[in-house]
A and B are shown apart, each in its own frame.
Chain A
């Protein structure tokens, strides 16, 4: 099965950009890269997703490496509300079934 690897934790100062990395060296050609974030005792919240090209939305940007073996979630100006666990997930269709594979995520701490 495809897997994702993320650093356990990262820190950022408020109002500075944050780059959250994710390695997914076993990604297959049809797997989408999704990012979610989760606050304590809440359900995850969708952030962004992409397949091959870089993506932007109101929350963040997603930069995908040319070989698709890694990606980076970019928060352009971190705020205290961005402190959460960020999950990089591969979403694919394998052996006749759809799969969502969540890793253990990166805990982002934002310093005021």
Chain B
């Protein structure tokens, strides 16, 4: 089955700890994205990558970091600098970063920091 996997589904961390969220795709897509969703809100773009070894900041990149060493993988690290990290995190991919391409989303990771 082709698709996007995110793990784990639920993640709990203590304040002050860095945490890395996994995102893998086997769709052979060039572009990958990370979004954050807060309760009752829409999605906000954190980072995106149009090609391996390249990524750009989205609207809310502060306190987050990413890497894109392999085409199929785009991990997101939530650092201790992120003021309010508790949220639902969604990874997506598209064939290309162009405007006409639809995105495919993973099932999400719900992060709770206490």
Interface residue ranges, A against B (CB under 8 Å): 30-32, 34, 36, 41-46, 49, 51, 87, 91-93, 97-100, 102-105
- Are the CB atoms of A43 and B98 closer together than 8 Å? no
Q: Residue-by-residue, is B30-45 near A (CB-CB < 8 Å gives 1, otherwise 0)?
A: 0001010000111111
Given A97-B56, A98-B48, are A43 and B106 also a contact pair (CB < 8 Å)?
Answer: yes
Q: Is the beta-carbon distance between B105 and A43 smaller than 8 angstroms?
A: yes
Q: What residues make up the interface of B, taking CB atoms closer than 8 Å to A?
A: 4, 33, 35, 40-45, 48, 50, 56, 88, 90, 92, 97-100, 102-108, 110
Give the residues in chain A near B35, CB-CB below 8 Å. 102
In the complex, how many angstroms separate the beta carbon of B5 from the nearest chain A beta carbon? Answer: 11
- Given A41-B88, A98-B50, 11 further pairs, Cβ under 8 A: A42-B107, A42-B108, A43-B105, A44-B90, A49-B100, A87-B42, A87-B43, A91-B99, A93-B99, A100-B43, A104-B41
Cβ B107 vs Cβ A99 within 8 A = no
B residues in contact with A98, CB < 8 Å:
48, 50, 97-99
Can you show 13 pairs from A to B with CB atoms below 8 A apart? A32-B100, A41-B108, A43-B4, A43-B107, A43-B108, A44-B43, A44-B103, A44-B105, A45-B105, A46-B102, A98-B99, A99-B45, A102-B42
Asked if B50 and A102 make an inter-chain contact with CB atoms under 8 angstroms apart, the answer reads: no
Please classify the interface of chain B as helix (H, G, I), strand (E, B), loop, or mixed, using the class held by over half of its residues. Answer: strand
Tell me the complex Cα distance, A44–B44, Å. 13
Q: Give min CB distance, A28 to chain B, whole Å.
A: 10
Q: What is the bound-complex CA distance between A97 and B97, given in angstroms?
A: 10
From DSSP, what is the main secondary structure of chain A's interface residues? strand
Structural contact, B97 and A103, CB atoms closer than 8 A: no
Interface centre among B43, B88, B90, B110 (most CB of A within 10 A): B43
The answer on a CB contact under 8 Å between B99 and A30 is: yes
Closest to A4 in B: B42
A105 to B42 Cα, complex, angstroms: 7
A47 CB to nearest B CB, Å = 9
